[in-house]
């Protein structure tokens, strides 16, 4: 019987793994989606009415799960040099606790990435939010050759602001959110390799193959 090739050979993002301290970041596979779905049903925000609550989280749990799974499948079909998103699941001590995305458009020319992230409520306050963002930035700056990393958060989202500042981001103006749902003002942030505050632990990057580099325009 012929052995089936690993999915990472067919879709190189599946082979990308980052390790930093207690955290493992790897792109979500179908085998991870049941655990991912369970995580989406659990609390993420202390105040569900806060303006910082993601628009997708405001849906009922089952609708939230259906939409999130559809979103994950869409991301896989749209990875190419013109535009891509890598959706990392975050595992701590073998348990999925959140997600860290990194995205780019025309990366080969712009050398700029943007990101978004969230953690389940019980994982807050342990430094995971900062470390997973730092691990993503090590990948972007040291391994992909990014020159800028951008982020934004709704005004008043002190937790997100704190993570950005801990990683070396500086304020970079404001904008009005373009996401579906309530229109909210956002603070923009920017970090470069020079201002990046690196983690106190090493970051290992595995699976960044020539094929994956080509897909990302890196």
Residues 69 and 60: their CA atoms lie apart, in Å, by 14
pLDDT of residue 197: 95
Residues 160 and 64: their CA atoms lie apart, in Å, by 22
Q: Extract the runs of DSSP E, i.e. beta strands, from the chain.
A: 17-20, 23-27, 83-92, 95-105, 112-119, 148-154, 170-176, 185-191, 203-206
From the list 171, 126, 187, 159, the residue with the least C-alpha distance to 50 is 159
Is the confidence at residue 59, as pLDDT, over 80? no
Is the confidence at residue 55, as pLDDT, over 80? no
Task: Report, as an integer, the average pLDDT of 39-51.
Answer: 69
Is the confidence at residue 4, as pLDDT, over 80? no
158: exposed, middle or buried (Cβ count in 10 Å: 0-12, 13-18, 19+): exposed
**Which strand ranges, in their side-by-side order, compose the sheet holding 148-154?**
170-176, 185-191, 148-154, 112-119, 95-105, 83-92, 23-27, 17-20, 203-206
* Contact of 174 with 187, CB cutoff 8 Å: yes
Average pLDDT, the chain: 88
State residue 137 phi and psi, 5-degree precision: -70, -35
Quick one: DSSP state of residue 6? Answer: P
The percentage of residues in the chain with a pLDDT greater than 90, rounded to a whole number, is 54
pLDDT of residue 12: 93
- Identify the band that residue 156 occupies on the pLDDT scale cut at 50, 70 and 90: confident
Residues 211 and 208: their CA atoms lie apart, in Å, by 8
Query: pTM of the full predicted structure?
Result: 0.89
Task: Report, as an integer, the average pLDDT of 101-105.
Answer: 95
Over residues 117-151, the pLDDT tens digits come to: 888 888 888 999 999 999 999 999 999 999 999 99
Is the confidence at residue 57, as pLDDT, over 80? no
CA angle 66, 49, 58 (to 5 degrees): 10
pLDDT of residue 47: 60
Is the confidence at residue 80, as pLDDT, over 60? yes
- Identify the band that residue 3 occupies on the pLDDT scale cut at 50, 70 and 90: low
Is the confidence at residue 84, as pLDDT, over 70? yes
pLDDT of residue 82: 95
- Greater confidence (42 vs 152) lies with 152
- Identify the band that residue 212 occupies on the pLDDT scale cut at 50, 70 and 90: very high
Task: Report, as an integer, the average pLDDT of 162-185.
Answer: 83
């Amino acid at each position: 019987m012929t052995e089936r090739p690993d999915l990472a050979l067919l879709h190189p993002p599946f082979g990308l793994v980052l390790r930093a301290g207690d955290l493992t970041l790897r792109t979500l596979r179908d085998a991870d989606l049941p655990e991912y779905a369970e995580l989406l049903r659990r609390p993420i925000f202390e105040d569900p009415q806060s303006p910082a609550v993601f628009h997708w989280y405001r849906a009922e749990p089952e609708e939230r799960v259906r939409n999130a799974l559809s979103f994950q499948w869409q991301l896989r079909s749209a990875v190419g040099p013109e535009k891509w998103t890598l959706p990392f699941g975050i595992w701590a001590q073998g348990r999925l606790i959140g997600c860290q995305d990194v995205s780019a458009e025309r990366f080969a020319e712009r050398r700029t990435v943007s990101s978004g992230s969230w953690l389940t409520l019980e994982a807050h306050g342990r430094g995971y939010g900062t470390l997973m963002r730092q691990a993503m930035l090590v990948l972007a700056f040291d391994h992909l050759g990014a020159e800028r990393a951008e982020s934004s958060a709704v005004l008043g989202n002190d937790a997100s602001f704190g993570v950005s500042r801990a990683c070396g981001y500086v304020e970079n103006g404001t904008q009005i959110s373009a996401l579906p749902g309530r229109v909210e003002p956002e603070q923009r942030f920017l970090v470069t390799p020079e201002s990046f505050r690196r983690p106190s632990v090493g970051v290992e990057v595995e699976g960044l193959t020539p094929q994956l580099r080509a897909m990302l325009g890196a």
